[in-house]
Amino acid sequence: MSPLRRGPGLLVVLLLALVPSHEAAESTPGTRTRKIVDTGAGSAFSLFNLKSQSKFWTESVIRTEFEDLEGSASRDSSKKALLNFTRAGNIANYMSLAEVDSIYFSIPVNFIFIGFDGKGGHEFKLGPEELERWFTKIDHIFEQTRIPPVGEVLTPFYKTSVKKLKQYDLPLVSHINHNFSVHAVHMGEDVMSVFQHAIKVLSHREDLTESSEAVEALQQVDSDQMEHLFSTLVDHLQIQEAYNIFILNPKPLDKNTQYGYRKGFSESEINLLRENKTLQARILQSKSDKKHFLDIEKGVNRRPLYESHPLTSFSWTTADNMDVEDWSKKCKEALSNFELLKEAKSKDDIVYDKAVQILHGKKDEMHDILESALKSSDLKGLHAECLTDLWIGRDRFAFFDLSAGPFAWGPAVGGDGVRTELSLPNVAKTVGAVAEVTEEEAEEKLQETIRERFSSFGEEYHAVDILLAEIDVYELFAFKHCVGRRVQLALCKELDERMHELKSELEGYNTGVSDEISKNKALDALKRMEKWNLFKDTSEEHHSYTVARDSFLAHLGSMLWGSMRHVIAPSVSHRAHHFYEKLSFQLYFVTQEKVRNIKQLPINVKLITDGLSSLLLQSQKSMFSQHMYVSFIFLILVFSPIER
pLDDT tens, position by position, 466-520:
777 777 787 777 776 676 565 667 787 787 778 777 777 777 777 666 677 777 7
Q: Where are the beta strands (DSSP E) in 158-269?
A: 172-187, 203-205, 217-222, 243-248, 257-262
Residue 396 domain-assigned?
yes
Residue 325 domain-assigned?
yes
Do 419 and 453 belong together in one domain? no
Residue 199 domain-assigned?
yes
pLDDT value at 52 more than 50: no
Residue 564 domain-assigned?
no
pLDDT of residue 469: 79
581 within 8 A of 149, measured Cβ to Cβ: yes
Say which residue, 25 or 191, is predicted with more confidence.
Answer: 191
CB atoms within 10 A of CB 29: 10
Do 394 and 499 belong together in one domain? no
Flag whether the pTM goes above 0.85.
no
Say which residue, 635 or 298, is predicted with more confidence.
Answer: 298
pLDDT of residue 640: 57
Q: Residue 18: pLDDT band by 50, 70, 90 thresholds?
A: very low
Say which residue, 3 or 203, is predicted with more confidence.
Answer: 203
What is the identity of the amino acid at 303?
Answer: R
Q: Is 337 exposed, middle or buried (0-12, 13-18, 19+ CB in 10 A)?
A: middle
Nearest residue to 10 via CA among 79, 75, 61 = 61
Do 242 and 388 belong together in one domain? yes
Angle 298-301-304 (CA atoms, 0-180°, nearest 5)?
Answer: 125
Do 143 and 218 belong together in one domain? yes
Share in percent of the chain as helix, strand, coil (round to 5): 45, 15, 40
pLDDT of residue 244: 92
Q: Report the domain count for the chain.
A: 4
pLDDT of residue 399: 92
Q: Give, as one character, the DSSP assignment of residue 259.
A: E
Distance separating alpha carbons of residues 119 and 249, to the nearest angstrom: 9
Do 130 and 57 belong together in one domain? no
Nearest residue to 327 via CA among 318, 319, 339 = 319
Nearest residue to 256 via CA among 210, 290, 299 = 210
Do 137 and 261 belong together in one domain? yes
What are 359-385's pLDDT values in tens digits? 888 888 888 888 888 887 678 778 888
Residue 572 domain-assigned?
no
Nearest residue to 584 via CA among 538, 529, 633, 642 = 633
pLDDT value at 149 more than 60: yes
Highest-confidence segment of 199-213, 323-337, 601-615 = 323-337
Do 160 and 242 belong together in one domain? yes
- Note down the domain range covering 66: 3-94
**Mean pLDDT of the 423-437 span:** 68
Calculate what percentage of the chain has a pLDDT beyond 70. 63
Three-class SS state of 218: strand
387 within 8 A of 262, measured Cβ to Cβ: yes
Residue-averaged pLDDT of the chain: 72
Nearest residue to 314 via CA among 164, 198, 184 = 184
CB atoms within 10 A of CB 91: 9
Do 518 and 619 belong together in one domain? no
- Partnered with residue 583 across adjacent β-strands are 622
Do 121 and 208 belong together in one domain? yes
Distance separating alpha carbons of residues 113 and 249, to the nearest angstrom: 8
Nearest residue to 567 via CA among 430, 398, 409, 418 = 398
Do 513 and 616 belong together in one domain? no
**Mean pLDDT of the 265-269 span:** 89
25 within 8 A of 84, measured Cβ to Cβ: yes
Q: Single out the residue in 62, 94, 126 at which a domain terminates.
A: 94
- Partnered with residue 117 across adjacent β-strands are 125
502 within 8 A of 470, measured Cβ to Cβ: yes
Do 64 and 123 belong together in one domain? no
**Mean pLDDT of the 241-246 span:** 90
Do 591 and 517 belong together in one domain? no
pLDDT of residue 604: 77
pLDDT of residue 61: 44
Residue 466 domain-assigned?
yes
Distance separating alpha carbons of residues 19 and 37, to the nearest angstrom: 6
For 443, 488, 492, 498, the CA distances from 439, given in Å and listed in that order, are 6, 10, 10, 18
**Gyration radius (Cα) of the chain, Å:** 36
Residue 577 domain-assigned?
no
Nearest residue to 109 via CA among 130, 134, 138 = 138
pLDDT of residue 215: 56
Residue 559 domain-assigned?
no
pLDDT of residue 282: 87
pLDDT of residue 554: 83
| Cα pseudo-dihedral 207, 210, 214, 215, rounded to 10 | -20
pLDDT value at 45 more than 60: no
Q: Single out the residue in 70, 94, 118 at which a domain terminates.
A: 94
What is the identity of the amino acid at 241?
Answer: E
pLDDT of residue 164: 46
